[in-house]
Structure 1
Amino acid sequence: MRKDDLIRMWHMLDAAEEALSFVKNKARSDLETDRMLVLSVVKLVEMIGDAASKVTKESRDNHQEIPWSSIAAMRKRLKHVYYDIDLDRVWDTVTDDLPTLVSALRKMVPPEERS
């Protein structure tokens, strides 16, 4: 795998793990009352999408276990809807989809590349 793809996947992994840490011990209802939580998690999901969009087609094709098009679609949605973000969808993405993404990325990004 190309070094720059490894770096981008590391960025995806780092942002996903951070988003998961932010929602740990939180409930969906916290998104209604904690603006900083919303902004933080939305930004991290956008960052995952930004990094994913820069991974080469070759690496995307070699790692079809990653839902590349869904990640890109979520990033586009978050970047362009501004004040009409679906918080249910954000919550589901972070709590349901990111653990699977983290698991897949940990297998792809060697520990020595995670710094």
Structure 2
Amino acid sequence: MDRARIADRLAHILESIAHLERVATGRRMQDLDTDADFDAMVERYIERISEASRHVPDTLKAGHPEIDWRGIAAVGNVLRHAYDRIEAKRVWQMVTVDLPPLKMAISAMRKTLREDKSG
């Protein structure tokens, strides 16, 4: 995959994280069970992150072993095919615990891509 497409995928992930941060502000885990629109938004952004992560090269991912890349890729399938079995607790953990380190890793990857291009 060329550098521009990789950069686009990383940008999509960061955009989805930003949307999740915005829609989750002031919310609680219970809102996933009581507000279907909120739940759908959160799950859709997680699906987008999952799908985009599949297109990030392993060479970039290797620089961030603290991220569960397989888990991120797998959660999209769970949301698409076993949506009735995913618990609000797990979704909320993704939003509140898993996304901040992912955001840092993706930002670092973008920086690496830019530096490699200019160097």
Residue 86, structure 1, aligned to residue 68, structure 2: no
Consecutive aligned runs of 4 or more in structure 1 exceeding 3 Å deviation: 62-66
Change in Cα spacing, 1:6 to 1:63, as seen in structure 2 (3 Å) is: farther
Change in Cα spacing, 1:95 to 1:32, as seen in structure 2 (3 Å) is: same
Change in Cα spacing, 1:76 to 1:41, as seen in structure 2 (3 Å) is: same
Q: For the Cα contact (< 8 Å) 1:28–1:88, is it kept in 2?
A: yes
SS at match of 2:27: coil
Alpha carbon RMSD of aligned pairs, Å?
A: 1.9
Which is greater in Rg? 2
Percent of aligned pairs sharing the same letter: 32
Unaligned stretches of 5+ in structure 2?
115-119
- How many residues align? The count is 111
**TM-score, scaled relative to structure 1:** 0.84
Structure with bigger RCO (C-alpha 8 Å, 6+ apart): 1
Unaligned stretches of 5+ in structure 1?
none
Q: What is the CA–CA distance in structure 2 between the aligned matches of 1:85 and 1:102, rounded to whole Å? A: 23
**TM-score, scaled relative to structure 2:** 0.82
Q: For the Cα contact (< 8 Å) 2:17–2:103, is it kept in 1?
A: yes
